[in-house]
Amino acid sequence: MREALNLERRKALKAGAGFGLLSALLSVGLISPQQARAAVNKGAFDAKTLDETYKALGVSAPAVSDQVVINASDIAENGAVVPIGIKSNLPNTQMVALLVERNPNPLSASYNLTEAAVPEVTMRVKMGQTSNVIALVKADGKFYTATKEIKITLGGCGG
């Protein structure tokens, strides 16, 4: 039993090593933020529309799924800090991403997952105005979405 736990721990550590190494190099100044950003899908994060974002991520026609769950309040008092959670109940979840439809760059976060990872993420994002948030999940090579509108009472982009 203990060996099985150690094996799972090693898998998790190995999966996070790439990001950890990238973070370490960035923090000690051995690479620039631009070089670190080049390691991720730059085109998807720079996209200005949902269609451009989907294209950059290789998404053609995502299916709406009740197995993708967005955990967020209907109303956020401060758009500068909006807590959002995404959980995938789909087997073999490989990627979880969050898109904010009315933000200047819709892709707010993207997580590549290994089979050892629990397909559940939480984050805090900035939203300038009331918008739909879209959870995009890749599982078994197919894409699935869930959408939720979040109303913002105080803007996150300057008031």
> How big is the chain by its Cα radius of gyration, in Å?
17
Extended strands (E) in the chain: 63-64, 68-71, 75-76, 82-88, 93-100, 107-112, 120-125, 131-139, 142-152
Residue 159 resides in a domain: no
- 102-117 mean pLDDT: 92
Q: Express each pLDDT in 38-87 by its tens digit.
A: 445 678 889 999 999 999 999 988 999 999 999 999 999 899 999 999 99
The count of structural domains within the chain is 2
Q: What is the pairing mode between strands 68-71 and 82-88?
A: antiparallel
**Comparing C-alpha atoms, which of 94, 87, 85, 77 is closest to residue 156?**
77
Residues 103 and 25 in one domain: no
Q: Express each pLDDT in 60-73 by its tens digit.
A: 889 999 999 999 99
Round to whole Å and give the CA distance between 72 and 11.
Answer: 30
Residue 121 resides in a domain: yes
Residues 18 and 47 in one domain: no
Alpha helices per DSSP H over the chain? 2-27, 33-38, 42-46, 50-57
What type of residue is 131?
S
Residues 87 and 136 in one domain: yes
Round to whole Å and give the CA distance between 138 and 110.
Answer: 11
pLDDT band at 105 (very low <50, low <70, confident <90, very high): very high
Beta bridge partners of 79: none
Q: Is the pLDDT of residue 157 over 80?
A: no
Residues 32 and 50 in one domain: no
Query: Nearest 5°: phi and psi at 82?
Result: -110, 110
Segments forming the whole domain that contains residue 134: 43-152
